[in-house]
Amino acid sequence: MTETTAVPQTTAGATATEAGAAPQDVTAAAHAIADRARAASRRLARANRAWKDRALLEIAESLVAKRDVVIAANRQDVEAGRRNGTSAALLDRLGLDAGRIDGLAAALRNLASLPDPVGKVERGQTLPNGLRLRQVHVPMGVVAAIYEARPNVTVDIAGLALKSGNAVILRGGSAAAGTNAALIGIIRDALDRVGLPADAVQTVDEYGREGAGVLMQARGRVDVLIPRGGRDLIQTVVNNAKVPVIETGEGNVHIFLVKSAGEEMAVDILPNAKTQRPSVCNTVETLLVHSEAQAAPAVLAALAAAGVRLHVDGRVAALLPEGAGGEPATDEDWGREYMDLDLAVGMVDSIDEAVTHIHRWTTGHTEAIITNDLANAEKFIAEIDSAAVVVNASTRFTDGGELGLGAEVGISTQKMHARGPMGLQELTTTKWIVQGDGQIRS
Amino acid sequence: MTETTAVPQTTAGATATEAGAAPQDVTAAAHAIADRARAASRRLARANRAWKDRALLEIAESLVAKRDVVIAANRQDVEAGRRNGTSAALLDRLGLDAGRIDGLAAALRNLASLPDPVGKVERGQTLPNGLRLRQVHVPMGVVAAIYEARPNVTVDIAGLALKSGNAVILRGGSAAAGTNAALIGIIRDALDRVGLPADAVQTVDEYGREGAGVLMQARGRVDVLIPRGGRDLIQTVVNNAKVPVIETGEGNVHIFLVKSAGEEMAVDILPNAKTQRPSVCNTVETLLVHSEAQAAPAVLAALAAAGVRLHVDGRVAALLPEGAGGEPATDEDWGREYMDLDLAVGMVDSIDEAVTHIHRWTTGHTEAIITNDLANAEKFIAEIDSAAVVVNASTRFTDGGELGLGAEVGISTQKMHARGPMGLQELTTTKWIVQGDGQIRS
């Protein structure tokens, strides 16, 4: 689950860049980094799983052994942030302690335990003319990542790229530059010790937002660019990039409570979907209740009891229990990803009205229906055009780990290449291998 | 096989646009078209295969029945082109006669005979907590296509989009506008007759290059944009689009003739790969010969005998047979997609040198090796990073039809989403469907 935040401006602004041209020396330096990444990617693409796993375990061990170095660098970043007036929430994301570093090492060991996505044969056949054909997964090549001041992402993305045979160029938020430099140094040393190219993991942090800008424009040098962070960061990248981008993470998630929905299930699911981890993208942001849904008052009471601030339309207001608060909902509420203990609640008179509302406001991440009616369930599945459509379960399951992908790169909200939770396979492309014995085309 | 051309300027210029903003009324009109396409796509996404196939057959029948209307419109476009000094090659691509129209109808009937890519379950499982999970292919939604003055593409793309459940917005070269209007009218009437939305097939032709520009910027309204045509058209789209693009078609294709290559096989493959259809993207453009390749003189003689103009480096020149011509090759030759009866020929002293040359100059489309040495074959397959890697066969097989995909949208030279020949499945995305009975996340 990629955690994103509703208040990323201070770091997003620091990592993103406008489309303006970078100075020539920055362009040349970033291109040189990309060219070294390309050379490293060619060596990494030929490394077998055992070798890549050895590197992941070596990095994990080294991170634990050098915890103090990382923590010292991180303390400087955090102190600088505090002096600059960075919010407590952002400082929390920036901070690393021994427990968090052990968590990063554990995630790398988990990556080592997963199957290699490279070499998997997607499909194949022998053609009538005797040509043997197979479509095989191969690494993308050079992956770039632009993200915020969250140093855990540095280790996370480097590990995912390595396991999938890709070289990676990182650009983290400036506020974490010291921590990232320490982490990247440890990773590169570990790669070198196991005989893999250190240049498989590089950073353009020293070139600031201009470096990020060069990456976004480096068509042919960067095969795919993954922005990870809040809405502003992702939109800046999507709007300025000329290299292929995978857009991740924005989730204006809906749950529709139909007439037939059982009260017990609804009272379980709604608070879970809203409060279990409010700051992430698969958290529900709008509840639509059918005007005849019997379960609605109990659900609203359960949400209020869980501390959820309800933003409601006029008809929902009449259902609120005593003392549940409830501000009037506006269009801004329907369009908003709160990422906090807020929830917009609206009433509809039919499933068609619910589908129309969702089509208008959704970001295409996850929508759920709570129903005991088969026709409603089938209609919702067929008509909702989002990466994940959930029936009678919490929206919090739209997550690579929960859906059995083993590891997660992010949650794609676009339709090209990857949609929904992206696992290691989504960091690969394919190659057609055609073997013959002299066939020509007639 | 998507045919592209080395001289597309006159039509590419007419279809492409610079990034400048379109007038407000054009923007509004093109957005309205996209919004109608979205509504139509929602209906089309729910149409089953039988219904879509009925539409394809109805369009095929109608095209044949109304051949005279199409030919009359086409004659006006061709005459206008002739008055404007359009080249004979471009006029040939623009022209439609009864035979070509019958060919288009036959291609639609073939599409109707192919399996539906929509609804295919990509993967699925029941999770330990009882959630039933499946990842299902669904249409992209709204596909846009920008192409040159080749009216056959209008019918081709409309059919592919329809079969894969997508609405399509077309922008063909202005020189074919009259023909395209006639074809689109026939298609829309046929859709209407079978009860599918006519707005599943629309055009922005009347808004010229400004309309094309709006499509390229319409993020959220257009799910994927496919440029089809020559290099200039594709680069203009890739550089200006903010919607996801699938880059197709450019092929600077190499064949490497190693020391061990058998003369008979090499003498068969090379002329086939160069002369069987020189104007298409899977035609070989550079031959690299190993300095000890015994077969080289016979291959060069066979190419010269087939009328191929050879552009050679100094060492190759010494191998040329009497009267074979042979101009000195420059860097421009190594980088060039001739799409004509020209071939660059260079000599290398090792497979590593060949791989390095290919990495430097390739567009990543198709490369082939001719060899009887297993280690060389394996090394070439592992180290060449192109959409298709061919051993001992003609490069002309990189084609959706030849590789058994049934129909071809284009040949992708990018790594995201689709790589190499794209079939109907590549016009779909996927949706995760998660069904539970009250599961919440702990």
Residue A392 burial by CB count (10 A; 0-12/13-18/19+): exposed, middle or buried? buried
Output the pLDDT for position A320.
93
**Taking 60 as the threshold, does the pLDDT of residue A397 lie above it?**
yes
Total of domains in chain B: 2
Instruction: Average the pLDDT over B60-80 and give the result.
Output: 98
**What residues of chain B lie within 8 A of the CB of A393, using their CB?**
131, 434-440
**What residues of chain A lie within 8 A of the CB of B439, using their CB?**
392-394, 397
Residue from the list B45, B377, B439 with its beta carbon closest to the beta carbon of A393: B439
Same domain, A100 and A34: yes
Is residue A420 within 8 Å of residue A395, measured between CB atoms? no
Nearest CA in chain B to A266: B438
**Does residue A2 form part of some domain?**
no
How far apart, in whole angstroms, are the C-alpha atoms of residue B333 and residue B204?
A: 38
**What residues of chain B lie within 8 A of the CB of A276, using their CB?**
440-441
Same domain, A119 and A266: no
Range of the domain at A84: 9-240
How far apart, in whole angstroms, are the C-alpha atoms of residue B170 and residue B153?
A: 10
Question: Residue A94's pLDDT band (boundaries 50, 70, 90)?
Answer: very high
Taking an 8 Å cut-off on Cβ atoms, the answer to whether A389 and B434 are in contact is: yes
**Taking 90 as the threshold, does the pLDDT of residue A110 lie above it?**
yes
**Does residue B425 form part of some domain?**
no
**Residue whose token pair is 């960067």:** A222
Residue from the list A140, A359, A421 with its beta carbon closest to the beta carbon of B415: A140
Strand, helix or coil for residue A347 = strand
Q: Identify the DSSP state of A116.
A: P
Same domain, A207 and A293: no
**Does residue B116 form part of some domain?**
yes
* CA distances in angstroms from B119 to A52, A156, B134, listed in the order given: 36, 34, 11
Give the residue from B175, B208, B240 where a domain finishes.
Answer: B240
**What residues of chain B lie within 8 A of the CB of A45, using their CB?**
382, 385
* CA distances in angstroms from B161 to B105, B118, B185, listed in the order given: 15, 11, 16
Q: Work out the minimum CA distance from B51 to partner chain A, whole angstroms.
A: 16
Same domain, A202 and A257: no
Instruction: Average the pLDDT over A107-119 and give the result.
Output: 96
**Taking 70 as the threshold, does the pLDDT of residue B16 lie above it?**
no
**What residues of chain B lie within 8 A of the CB of A377, using their CB?**
435
Residue B439 burial by CB count (10 A; 0-12/13-18/19+): exposed, middle or buried? buried
Q: Work out the minimum CA distance from B286 to partner chain A, whole angstroms.
A: 17
Question: Residue B19's pLDDT band (boundaries 50, 70, 90)?
Answer: very low
In percent, the amount of chain B with pLDDT more than 90 equals 84
**Taking 90 as the threshold, does the pLDDT of residue B229 lie above it?**
no
Nearest CA in chain A to B379: A46
Taking an 8 Å cut-off on Cβ atoms, the answer to whether B244 and A397 are in contact is: no
Residue from the list A46, A224, A434 with its beta carbon closest to the beta carbon of B416: A224
Q: Work out the minimum CA distance from B435 to partner chain A, whole angstroms.
A: 5
Same domain, A194 and A97: yes
Mean pLDDT score of chain A, rounded to an integer? Answer: 92
Cβ atoms within 10 Å of B210's Cβ, excluding its own: 18
How far apart, in whole angstroms, are the C-alpha atoms of residue A327 and residue A311?
A: 5
Same domain, A262 and A157: no
Among A267-271, B285-289, B320-324, where is mean pLDDT lowest?
B320-324
Give the residue from A219, A240, A261 where a domain finishes.
Answer: A240
Same domain, B234 and B259: no
Better-scored residue on pLDDT, A127 or A324: A127
**What residues of chain B lie within 8 A of the CB of A165, using their CB?**
none
E strand or H helix at A433:
strand A428-439
Give the residue from A240, A262, A284 where a domain finishes.
Answer: A240
Which residues, including other chains, have CB under 8 Å from residue A81's CB and lie 6 or more apart? Answer: A90, A91, A94, A149, A175
CATH code for position A297: 3.40.309.10
pLDDT in tens, B241-257: 999 999 887 899 999 99
E strand or H helix at B288:
strand B284-290
Output the pLDDT for position B223.
94
Mean pLDDT score of chain B, rounded to an integer? Answer: 92
